[in-house]
Amino acid sequence: MRTAIALVIITLLAGCSSATTGMVTSKQYIPQHEEFSYFQCYMYDAKAQCTMQMPVYETVDQCWQVNFHNAAEDKNGSACVDQTSYDRYRVGDQYPALR
């Protein structure tokens, strides 16, 4: 029974993976920005219950994003690349570029 459950979980996780190679479908620049991360408790009452929470944000670095599709696996993927690579890629190119 445990083996069957483990196989189902592994199969589901494998099915959720994204492509690592494919044809470039689009590109986008994402500037550095702040994203919500989690709530941090700052005040507790006498019963150790949280009475005041504050949001915590994280800085996300800029990303020169290349989006691609792997037709053989029917999966999409994306990758952040350096600006020079980003400028070189065109829609329809293979990612990663074949050397």
DSSP code at position 18: P
Spatial separation of the C-alpha atoms in residues 84 and 90, rounded to whole Å: 12
Q: Is residue 3 part of a domain?
A: no
Write the DSSP string, 53-83. EEEEEEEE--EEEEEEEETTTTEEEEEEE-H
- The pLDDT score that the predictor gives to residue 13 is 46
What are residue 98's phi and psi, to 5 degrees? Answer: -80, 135
Range(s) of the domain holding residue 80: 19-93
Please report where in the chains the tokens 């190679």 appear, as a residue.
21
Q: Is residue 78 part of a domain?
A: yes
Flag whether 36 is in a domain. yes
63 domain residue, yes or no: yes
13 in a domain, yes or no? no
pLDDT in tens, 3-13: 555 544 544 44
Cβ–Cβ under 8 Å, residues 66 and 18: no
Total domains in the chain come to: 1
Categorize the per-residue pLDDT at 98 as very low, low, confident or very high, splitting at 50, 70 and 90: confident
pLDDT tens for 50-92 read: 999 999 999 999 999 999 999 999 999 999 999 999 999 999 9
Residue 99 forms part of a structural domain: no
Q: Would you say residue 27 lies in a domain?
A: yes
